[in-house]
Structure 1
Amino acid sequence: MEASSSSCPNQPPPLPSSPEDEHRNWLDLPRDVVSAIFVKVGTIEVLRNVQRVCSLWRNVSRDPLIWRTIDMHALGDLTDSDDILDAMCRRAIDHSSGQLTDITIEEFATDALLKYIVDSTSHLRRLCLIRCYSITDEGLCVVAEKLSRLEELDISISNLSKDPLETIGRSCPHLRTLKFNIEGYKSPHIECNEDAFAIAETMPALRHLQLFGNKLTNDGLLSILDGCPNLESLDLRQCFNVNLIGNLERRCAEQIKDLRRPYDPIDDYPFEAEDDYGSFDEDYPSGISDIDILSDYEYDFYEFSGGSLSEFSDYDYNDDY
């Protein structure tokens, strides 16, 4: 009779199973670990997919600690309408249960959503609005008094003027970081120090300031250096009206630890910007083209210009899960 394999003297004994060979159940992970993973996954993915996996994950996704930070920028290939994104953002804010401290929104924010944010939390420390053209001067001024704990404000690429800067400065005594950026362009030659004067007059506690592409001149820069004595970092890239020479250069070197100059590299700047300096007229050391290149009409202009929610229901965001 043929010997069975179990009695074969040459067969090694079976190896003990290792933890790596065992089936792992994600549902067995500690709740705090799952919460940490959800934070890494991100706002959109948790709202759209993760919370729908099972009842346990849905329950974990309601933990307010997950929603202390809400990040809705760099949305990539998402094709959702602004109304849907607005509704998703409000749902995330509701989940935070008043504990929201940090929020970033790109493009779809409105005055109404901004008011919803500040009415929902008194703990906001960081507010970042990127390309949110529907945020108005009036809308930001209205909510400014409720942002008294704000420490960082990032408004990159907007239609806002100096007015909300002044109101924010007076209403937010703890503000330490301000980013007020636009796309940087070398022409036309427009000089404007209104933003710089507003910052200098109302934000003495600032430590970090980024004014990418601003139209301030040396006078505006001097006012900032005088009005913000605690500045540690200052980003003036593509502020082509600023000419850092002589006493002004020495003043910046003495007062600012981290200075980004107008012509410094812009490879780490995430928005559109002029980076072809080779075409600048050598007669203009500041890098600005002559206003004479504009037509009479353009010159006058620059002189005097100072989806439905039904789709959202598919995501099943009703309270009665």
Structure 2
Amino acid sequence: MASGDLGGLSEAVPARDWADGLGTDALLAILHRLDHVDVLMGADQVCRPWRRAAREEPSLWRRIAMRGNEGIARRLNRGGLACEAVRRSAGRCEAFCGEYAGDDGFLIYLSEQAPCLKSLRLISCNGVTNEGVAEAVKELPLLEELELSLCDNVGRSEVFKVVGEVCPQLKHFRLNKKLFDVTVWEKEKDVQGIASMHGLRSLQLFSNLLTNAGLETILDNCPHLESLDIRHCFNIDMDETLLVKCARIKTMRLPDDLTDDYDLEIQSPIRTYVPREPLGYVCYSDFCYNSYEDSDDDSEDDSDFYGEPSRYESDLDKYEKMLRSSMRTFLR
């Protein structure tokens, strides 16, 4: 019997840890497929090479994407996670996309730590204000793309004029709202600021309140515009004057065009406003309600449904189980 052979059976070969044997290029190829929240909250706990790749390879953090749903965002310190992601980029971050992530403080940190930033996309970041955006973009002269979608506390020409002045290379701008509401009186509050972005190639203004006059102002001041998306901008009436001005635009999406390819939240538009007697009743489109009465039980149940933590329980458990004690600072 050969040495080491027990009853004709060779010694058991220890199982190989495939994760530990991957090269850096292969590891980075895997990590690049993950949202950066997942990288921060668990991928660097697999083994030492994974941890080294997640923490010490700035190329992984050159383009940061932190998307997610609101339920998880309530439990995580998304601003802290965003700061850590930017820190790991070691000054090489060129693009940041954050959903439910970041506030004015984070924007200032980003502008200081990512001087080469070319793309900034903020979605549903209600902690971001006009003041924060105006201050941050002053340190981001290389910015070519800016998105401020569903950010309820950002708007008005004053802040966009600052963007147009300090970001001369800006080519793409998205300013999208959840809801078109004809009852809001300030129709052109964003127009003059957007019109100051003279180098724009593409512009998306979903559910904006601008009128024909406002759109004409933008078209006259943005001569390089090639793509224009004004879906759900129901104050716009594409008359002959506008059609002539838009003839040079290669890609055009009109107010009533389909929204199947739109990737953000949409609420049903309020397109008409007709007050009726008795006083206190208001009609929006095809329905009326008493503005003096509280909402009924059904509407309260609907709002509770969207905030119900149990809907996200499995996702939260996943993050908490993977979370090291040193990372628990990212939990609220």
Q: Tell me the TM-score normalised to structure 2 length.
A: 0.75
Question: CA 1:238 to 1:35, structure 2 compared with 1: closer, same or farther past 3 Å?
Answer: same
1:181 corresponds in structure 2 to 176
Contact (CA 8 Å) 2:150, 2:176: kept in 1 or not? yes
User: Partners in 2 of 1:128 and 1:99 — Cα distance?
Assistant: 17
1:57 corresponds in structure 2 to 50
Q: Which amino acid aligns with 1:145?
A: K
User: Partners in 2 of 1:135 and 1:181 — Cα distance?
Assistant: 15
Question: CA offsets, 1:190-232, max 9 Å, x none?
Answer: 45113122111x2110000000001100001101110000000
Question: CA 1:184 to 1:313, structure 2 compared with 1: closer, same or farther past 3 Å?
Answer: closer
User: Partners in 1 of 2:273 and 2:26 — Cα distance?
Assistant: 59
3-state SS of paired residue (1:273): coil
User: Partners in 2 of 1:313 and 1:170 — Cα distance?
Assistant: 43
Q: Any stretches of 5+ residues in structure 1 without a counterpart?
A: 1-21, 281-287, 300-310
3-state SS of paired residue (2:162): helix
2:96 corresponds in structure 1 to 103
From 284, 289, 292, the equivalent of 2:272 is 289
User: Partners in 1 of 2:215 and 2:243 — Cα distance?
Assistant: 11
1:316 corresponds in structure 2 to 326
User: Partners in 2 of 1:75 and 1:60 — Cα distance?
Assistant: 27
Greater mean alpha carbon deviation, residues 185-194 or residues 237-246: 185-194
From 124, 128, 148, the equivalent of 2:141 is 148
1:204 corresponds in structure 2 to 198
Question: CA 1:196 to 1:71, structure 2 compared with 1: closer, same or farther past 3 Å?
Answer: same
Is the aligned partner of 1:172 residue 2:136? no
User: Partners in 2 of 1:117 and 1:197 — Cα distance?
Assistant: 27
1:16 corresponds in structure 2 to none
From 49, 67, 73, the equivalent of 2:61 is 67
3-state SS of paired residue (1:71): strand
3-state SS of paired residue (2:209): coil
Contact (CA 8 Å) 1:184, 1:272: kept in 2 or not? no
1:246 corresponds in structure 2 to 240
Question: CA offsets, 1:280-308, max 9 Å, x none?
Answer: 9xxxxxxx414546998899xxxxxxxxx
- CA drift of 1:108 comes to 3.3
1:255 corresponds in structure 2 to 248
Contact (CA 8 Å) 1:67, 1:93: kept in 2 or not? yes
2:210 corresponds in structure 1 to 216
User: Partners in 2 of 1:270 and 1:295 — Cα distance?
Assistant: 41
Question: CA offsets, 1:142-194, max 9 Å, x none?
Answer: 11211100010010012212221111111100100000111232532645113
How much is the aligned-residue C-alpha RMSD, in angstroms?
2.8
Contact (CA 8 Å) 2:20, 2:47: kept in 1 or not? no
From 187, 193, 208, the equivalent of 1:192 is 187
User: Partners in 2 of 1:240 and 1:66 — Cα distance?
Assistant: 42
- CA drift of 1:249 comes to 1.5
Q: Which has the larger radius of gyration?
A: 1
Q: Any stretches of 5+ residues in structure 2 without a counterpart?
A: 1-14, 283-319
User: Partners in 2 of 1:269 and 1:49 — Cα distance?
Assistant: 31
From 251, 265, 268, the equivalent of 2:258 is 265
Contact (CA 8 Å) 2:60, 2:89: kept in 1 or not? yes
3-state SS of paired residue (1:132): coil
User: Partners in 2 of 1:294 and 1:60 — Cα distance?
Assistant: 67
3-state SS of paired residue (2:138): helix
Contact (CA 8 Å) 1:165, 1:195: kept in 2 or not? yes
2:219 corresponds in structure 1 to 225
3-state SS of paired residue (2:175): strand
Is the aligned partner of 1:44 residue 2:37? yes
Contact (CA 8 Å) 1:70, 1:92: kept in 2 or not? yes
User: Partners in 2 of 1:257 and 1:294 — Cα distance?
Assistant: 48
Contact (CA 8 Å) 1:191, 1:241: kept in 2 or not? no
Question: CA 1:94 to 1:246, structure 2 compared with 1: closer, same or farther past 3 Å?
Answer: same
User: Partners in 2 of 1:194 and 1:100 — Cα distance?
Assistant: 32
2:230 corresponds in structure 1 to 236
- CA drift of 1:91 comes to 1.4
Question: CA 1:186 to 1:145, structure 2 compared with 1: closer, same or farther past 3 Å?
Answer: closer
- CA drift of 1:271 comes to 2.9
Question: CA 1:49 to 1:272, structure 2 compared with 1: closer, same or farther past 3 Å?
Answer: closer
Percent of counterpart pairs with the same letter? 32
User: Partners in 1 of 2:324 and 2:278 — Cα distance?
Assistant: 53
